[in-house]
Amino acid sequence: MDANLSLLFVRLAGMPQSRYNCTNRMRSSAAKTNPRRSKPVTEFTNIRVLPSGYQVSVTRAKIEFSRHFAGHSDASLQAALRFRDKTLRELPKKRLNPVPRKVLAAVGLDAEVVGVFRHPLRSFYQVSFREGGRWRARTFSWKTVNEADAYAAAIAFRASLVRASS
C-alpha cells in the first residue's frame, strides 16, 4: 500500500516521480541516497499524518481551522485532501498585499520572495530584521524609482542579511 500511496501523492502534486521529494506541496522522509529504500510520504502541506489518522490544519490571522480524519485508509486520505482544498479555496491568501505579476516578471521571478513585504498605500517594500537584539525595518520606496527596481533592491538587501547571518 505504501508504494500505491506514494504514487497517488505524485499524481496529486502533478510532478514527475523523480521530483516528488523536493516539491513544496509535499515532503518525504525518504533517504536521498538510495531510492529503493524510500519511505512513504509522511508529511505534506497543511496535512499531518498521526498514529490515529490524518489531521488537516490551516491557520489564518491566528485562527486555526482544523479537522481530524480517523484511520489511514484511502477514503480518509481523500476526505482530508478534499477538506484541505476546500478550506484553502474559501479562506483568503496568506499575503494581504501580493506583489503584482508585472513586477515579478520584470525582476525575473515566478513567486514572491520570503521576507519582503509590499505596502501599496504607502508605496514601499519593507524588510524587517534584527540588529543588536532589536527589531529594525528598512523600506524601499517606489515613488522616485520604478516599483520593480525597489523590489529588486529589497530582495538584494534581504539576501545580504541572510548571507551575513549564515
How many Cα atoms are found within 13 Å in the side-chain-facing hemisphere of 5?
19
H or E element at residue 56: strand 53-60
Residue 6 has pLDDT above 50, yes or no: no
pLDDT at residue number 23: 36
Residue 27 has pLDDT above 90, yes or no: no
pLDDT at residue number 34: 56
The string of pLDDT tens digits covering residues 134-166 is 999 999 999 999 999 999 999 999 999 888 877
**pLDDT band for position 21 (cuts 50, 70, 90):** very low
